[in-house]
Each structure stands twice: as structure tokens, then as C-alpha cells.
Structure 1
């Protein structure tokens, strides 16, 4: 349960910081977009319409020079046994039907950005939770027992830190392969979103499953647990010297009970702050793995950036729009993390209000 003092600190820091308010609004909007994707997505993210391929976003238009067959009186012009062609400039204008444009296969980019939020947010949350469970367990044990236990556990953490995160993640995915986990979409399976979209005259053919890259979730947790372990260890080293911990042990409380009931609750503040920041870091790592083709998810911001690489000169929006989604999400999460740090750990100098 959150104490009244903590709530006061949160409210005070929020009232002083414009950046914190912006961060909360951004995070809430991204979460709402991910949760209610079947309701707000204009189309299915997998729907292809080749006639609308590479359509620009609102406010932009494109021109492309194409070589077309030369026709005369409805017949193909042939000279010296060869079909004659000519170059024509084709102009493509934006439409309200696709406000962020379409990709090379005619898929609506806005729909893919909305559904891509699901993959990134869920990988960030699940990966951070798993990393925290591993790291906090290791860190509390190392700080509480000290001595040989501390040396063995933290030397293992140091070995993990010696490897670049992305390289280690790629190696682990290469060893374990791409395991996909299909989670039924409750809104689609129950027909709630279908009825809503049908009432508005929208397409009801939405994906029935949320496809998560299971291997990536496990990999990002194994790559990032070290940071939780270091923070938890530092807190445990300090808290174990407190009188209430000594009193609990003197009354016969087991080590496990002492750590769960006395050490962990008093070490949770910096862990929560770190978790908020780690969600953003894991989203970036997942996007990098998707960009390199190691994720296995077919609807992901990083995957869509990779799809648009070859069209940078003619259809820049294919990569730019999911890239902007990553930037906005990570900035929002970092702003929320700064707010939590300033409110929950006043001993650390923050950026202050704006």
C-alpha cells in the first residue's frame, strides 16, 4: 500500500513539472492505443491493397517517373519488332483513408503503428517483470548474505556486463530460435470489437491473436537482470544493518521471511524507478532485434522500419512513422521515470520543474 507521504511527494513533483505531465499523457495514450487497438485501428494491420502501395501521409505528395508502353489508337506501338515505351511522371496524393500513408504492400501504416504498440509494450512489460524477478532475487541474496554468496553472484553479474547487450541478445536468439506465443485477443474473440466496428461501418476482419516473440522476451530479461541485481544488492547491504532487520532475525524469522517482509519493501523505491526506465530500454532492444530480423514478430515497430529501408528515397514515411512511435514512447517513459525518481527518492538531485 502506498503511504500518504509517498502520495504527497508524487503530487508535489507532478504539480511542479510540466515534463512529468507530458510523460504521463504520452504513456497513457500509448497504453490506450495498445489495449484498444481493435477498436481504433482503421484497418487490419495485415490487410494488403497493392493498388494503394506507397501512398504518402497527409500533407505530402509524391511523383515518380515510370516507363509505360506507348499506345496509338488503342494499339501497342511496335517498331523494328520492339514494343515502344515512353517515360511518364505519375503523381500520388495523400488521402484521408490513410493519414500516415501506406507501405510497399499497401498496408495502412497507422494501423501497423497502433498494433505495433502492442508488441513493443508487452515485450517491455513482460521483459522488465522477468528481469526484475531474476535481478532482485539475485541482488537481495547477494546483499543479505554477503561473503562468498555475494562474490559468486555478483561476479556472474559482472560477466554478463562484459558482453554488449545487443550482441548477447542476438547470440541467444540464434541459439534458441524464434519462439512465437499467440495470445487470443479478448476483444476480437468475444466479438465486442466486431460489433463496435460493424456499427461504425468499419472492417471487422481484425487479427484474432496477439503474436508475441517469446524468445525475445526471455532474451531481453536475461540481458537486463543485472541492473536490477546491482540496485537490489546495494539496498540490501544498507537495509540489513537496520535495527528492525536485526530484531526480526533475533525473534527467529527465517532469512527468506526477513528479506520478503522487511528488506524488499524498503528497497522497492529505486527498483520501481529502474523498472520504468528499463521498460524503455527493453523496447529499444526489442526494436533493434526486430529491425535485424531476429524477433519473429510480423507486426512490430522495428520490423516495419526494416521493411522501409529500401524505400527511403521514395517512401520515407514507411520507416519514419514507426521510428517516431519508438522515439515518443521512450521519451514518455523516461519522463515518467524522472518524475518517479524525484518523488520517491528525494535524495537524488532531479531536473526540477519546468
Structure 2
């Protein structure tokens, strides 16, 4: 049969070509009458339909979440269910279905399962996957108060949980001014500064990456109009526009594309650069890169932080992004920046390489180092 036949055409074909019984009746008609008379209970089982047609992904999400919250099941079963759920909501449509299926409150409770850190890890992973690059899910998660639950996890005992919490927070904050504002209100900058001294370098890397992303998305000279009187209120965009008179007076209104759900709440994007300076985050980043840095900022579990090139690259990028932006004068720690300039021009960490400077080792153009030095004058 042709591959492009519709389901109706296939059904019609099946009825027309169904075998006949001895009395000349269609076998389909006979089976239908038997089902109606209750003589075929085997065909009335809903599981049979699921076996033939397959379950919808919404059904699978409900079933997996049902296992995840079932305290009578083993932790292994529950973790597997959350892992399966995470794979399902990689599809944006499925992630957006979580709201209509009333699943967000369930995940808030899972994130607070303090006696089950492994469950918390998987729940944070789901939240991050559901909201990453998904403005609708970001807005919904923020509405449910997700940040208030995620931020305390940055102090969790389990490193993997702290790491997944940063991942989820990053996804929530992406291009979401209202979320960044709420994050600041809940003491998020202080939490990130503390995380830069985390005992796990993986957490530090994720924090540095997040900081750079927040700086990049901060509209320093935004062209977007902003009405201060609308702060905190939902703005409902006009979704229709009347077509211009082109001789057809009966032409219906033309629908306009909705704006991102993350911009429906009119909140001015917080000044990320200023926050990084005022909360000591810039100072912490610089200190972690200095050979003679102090305390846990320069050392992680006995290892010099500067020996982790991945972290170094991300940390230096935050500093260069911040100091390279055209913003109002900030009280930069000039003395420490001068020290960093000398470090970047100094020898690489890997003495065996053929590179001449630490900047080259990090892939930093020396012109950027020159520009950074000018900021210290």
C-alpha cells in the first residue's frame, strides 16, 4: 500500500478486504456484534488498544511520574522512572504538557526530598531539561516558585546535586528578566559567590559559565521599550492587527506571533555586571586565577584551581566580558586586575607546551589583555 495513505483510507481498505464468514457476513461485522453482545471480553481490555496503537507520550509521562513518587517502589525503580521522564520532556511539547498535567507541584516536592538526595538530583535534571531554551516552561516554573526551592540546593552535601541545581537555575534564568530579578531577591548572587569556592571544580565551572551567559544577555542599552508602571504586571500582547485597506474591506484581522512568555512580565533586566562587582563575585573570580591567591578560592581539594584550564577559560571570559562592556563606571578592583594582567602575560601552566603565555594557553587574544590593562589605569 502507498505510504501516504491516511488512517481513514487504511480503515476503509481494511473493511473492504476483511475476510467473509460462511454465512456471507464480514468478519469485522461479526466481531463487532460479538463485542457489543459481551461475548468477546478479550477485545474489551483497554490494554489491547494500547498494545496495538501505543500509549500517548502524555500517558507515559504520567506513568513514569507515578512510579517516581511511589514510596513503595525501590529507589532504583524511581530513579529509572525519572530518567525515562527526563528523556520524554526533551521534546518541548511534552515539557509544556507538564503544566496541564499538574506535574510542576510534584517536582517541587521531589526537589525538597532531603532524605533522598539521588531523587533530588534526578528531579533537578528534569527541571533543567524542561526549561532549557523553552520560554513557556521557564515562565511556568517561575510562577510555581521553582527558584526558592532550587537555590538552597547550592548548599547541598552531595556535589552532583549542587551541580544539577546550577544547571536547572541556568535554564530558568536564560533570557528571563523576571527570573533574574527574583533570583537576586532570594540572595542568588551571594549563593553563586559562595559556589565559586565549592569543593567540586565541576560546580565552579558551571557557575562561571552561568555568570558569562547572564552578562551576555544583560541588555545594557536595550532597544526594547519598558514601562516602569507595568513592573510586575502581566502584559497581554495584542495578537491581532487589522489589515490595511487594500480594497477588501472584509479581510479578517491578521494574527501576530506571540512574544516570548519570559517577557510577558514587564521587569527591567537587573544590571548583572554591577551585581557581580557589588557582591564580590568579580573579586572572587580574579583571586581564583592568581598563583598566590588565598584560601579555598585558589585551591580545590588540595589542587590549584589554575591547573584546571577549563575553569580558567570560563573565569577569564567572565572578567573580559564584564570589563569589555560599555557600561556606567563600576568600582573595579584595579589592583587585582593588574595582577591578573601580569599572570595572563606570564608563563603557561603547562610548562611542556610550546605556548609563551598563560593567555595563549587559554585562547585569549593579547589585544584583549591590553584592553583589560587599560581598565586598570
By the TM > 0.5 criterion, same fold? Answer: no
Instruction: Provide the TM-score with structure 2 as the length reference.
Output: 0.22
Q: Say which structure, 1 or 2, has more relative contact order (CA 8 Å, 6+ apart).
A: 1
Greater strand content? 1
TM-score normalized by structure 1? 0.23
* Larger-gyration structure (1/2): 2
